[in-house]
Amino acid sequence: MRSRRRPAGASAVRTLTYHDVVARDRREQVGFAGALAARYKLEPDLFERHLEALAATDLQVRPLDAGAPPSALTLTFDDGGGSGIEVAGVLERRGWRGQFFVTTGRLDSPGFLSSEQVAELARRGHLIGSHSHTHPTYMGRLAKQQLEFEWTESRALLAQILGEPPRTASVPGGYLSPRVIETAADAGYELLFTSEPTARVRTARLVVRGRYTIWATTAAAAAAGYARGDPLACGRLWLEWNAKKLAKRINPSAYQALRRVRARKR
């Protein structure tokens, strides 16, 4: 499958990827458990500083749906952890709306959003998308049949909740492959987000956009730098991401083991 890349200036949209926003002593109770997941969970006071820094950029913040006019900045929240309702309230106080990608296999389970809460988020103007059904560690390595299940099952469940199927999805772990794109398009998605830190847009059978990942330790100034497209901030994240991508491809098991060791030391 051949794809076409647009020039970097073809889209000013930049998307930041958040996960759960939760106090340190409650990290194990909200969203995915474990040291690796905790590396993505911001504490509420730091999240507020992020939003203050993002507001100071004067960029327009709104979700990015398939076919919708692009905004300058989109804030996405992966996994479907239970902090989503509180996060939505914080965004709404600024007049903003977020984009929540839900792991549907975790709906209505402890630490995650309920089906009713997902419907409520949609009613309040937030955009809901798929984050797969089971959140595979390396989605790009799955067989086609497994990928088809991940995308179609998730989309069908969200359609029941929302009254219509979602058009957007994000890839767990950002592990992209041509087969991931192909099966997402076959399932009916039109816009797919990855974890590659880039504002470039790739068009294949659907639109593929990158995102800038926010870690638990990401400073507010760095988040604002990603949003503005600061070359130094964005370039540093791009180099880190590509180093991890190479390590994942060479030896995924060793990469995961090293991540666990580093996470326990934090």
Q: What percent of the chain has pLDDT over 70?
A: 88
* Each residue's pLDDT tens digit, 18-75: 999 999 999 999 999 999 999 999 999 999 999 999 999 999 999 999 888 777 899 9
200-213: string of b/e by CB count within 10 Å (b at 16+)?
ebbebbbbbbbbbb
- Taking residue 99's Cβ as centre, other Cβ atoms within 10 Å add up to 24
* Each residue's pLDDT tens digit, 85-122: 999 999 999 999 999 999 999 999 999 999 999 999 99
* pLDDT for the residue 254: 46
Q: Is pLDDT of 17 > 80?
A: yes
Domain count of the chain? 1
> The CATH number of the domain where 118 resides is what?
3.20.20.370
Q: Is pLDDT of 154 > 60?
A: yes
* pLDDT for the residue 8: 37
pLDDT tier, 12 (very low <50, low <70, confident <90, very high otherwise): low
* pLDDT for the residue 6: 37
Residue type present at position 177: S
* Each residue's pLDDT tens digit, 112-130: 999 999 999 999 999 999 9
pLDDT tier, 263 (very low <50, low <70, confident <90, very high otherwise): very low
* pLDDT for the residue 1: 40
Mean of the per-residue pLDDT values of the chain: 90
* Each residue's pLDDT tens digit, 239-250: 999 887 776 665
Rounded to two decimals, what is the model's pTM? 0.89
* pLDDT for the residue 252: 56
Q: Is pLDDT of 187 > 90?
A: yes
DSSP string, 76-143: EEEETBTTHHHHHHHHHTTT---EEEE-GGGTTSTTB--HHHHHHHHHTT-EEEE--SS--TTGGGS-
* pLDDT for the residue 41: 98
* Structural domain boundaries, residue 88: 4-265
